Amino acid sequence: MLLSPKYQFLFVHIAKTGGTSVRAALERLRWRDPWYYPMFLCSRLSHLSGHRIASKLPRHAKVVAAKELLPREYFKGLFKFAFVRNPWDLQVSSFHHIRRERPHYLGGHETFEAFLRWKLDPDRPYQYHVDTSITLQTDYLIDLSGELVVDYIGRYERLQPDFAEICARIGIQAPALPHARQAKDRQKDYRSYYTDATAALVADHFARDIAMLGYGFDPTD
């Protein structure tokens, strides 16, 4: 999550949706923000206290955290946005990320199908939060009443034009998006990873995301 008091925006960073590139581009604005240094100091104090003083919004915090912590009128005045991604594509990206950077999280399931079935198995004993992509993306966008409270939802599939639209609404010239953390170990078409059965598993687990965000197994133009 990235908050800018000067430019009055709140970026809700959902993992594996292009958010690292968006964050890297927007973080440059911090140097122009007179609130940057007080915020940095509070962040360090939060770290030193074990984050017990609630002065820092975590990188992948849900929007409800900001709504509950910030003054009501201040929160309402922020331009709140996030990026989302096709759930089937997201699961493929997450698998490759874990296999590349945290292979011990695979739980001994080395193929995409085996890992997906294990991860989404409702009877799997809870050992740890396998990865953030098991959480519904819409959970990051709603408040405690289930109401959508972000002002703009960009799409990973339209990252560049949607980011340009966001920058226009913030009132800045769109900086170049760096190609941060690009995966080089996966096939391009996520559909090639799925059988009918595993595609149905994702459709069932992420049904609310698919309905609210308008995604389908096949990409749309």
In angstroms, what CA-CA distances link 3 with 33, 39, 43, 81, 149? 11, 10, 12, 11, 15
CB atoms within 10 A of CB 130: 19
**How does pLDDT run across 3-22, given as a tens digit for each residue?**
888 889 999 999 899 988 99
Categorize the per-residue pLDDT at 52 as very low, low, confident or very high, splitting at 50, 70 and 90: very low
Least confident window among 27-36, 106-115, 186-195:
27-36
Domains and CATH numbers, the chain: 2-213 (3.40.50)
pLDDT reported for residue 1: 86
In angstroms, what CA-CA distances link 19 with 1, 35, 45, 156, 179? 9, 22, 26, 9, 11
**How does pLDDT run across 103-145, given as a tens digit for each residue?**
777 777 889 999 999 889 888 776 555 677 889 999 999 999 9
Least confident window among 38-52, 92-106, 137-151, 201-215:
38-52
What value does the mean pLDDT take over residues 160-169? Answer: 96
Report the candidate in 72, 59, 62 with the shortest Cα–Cα distance to residue 22: 59
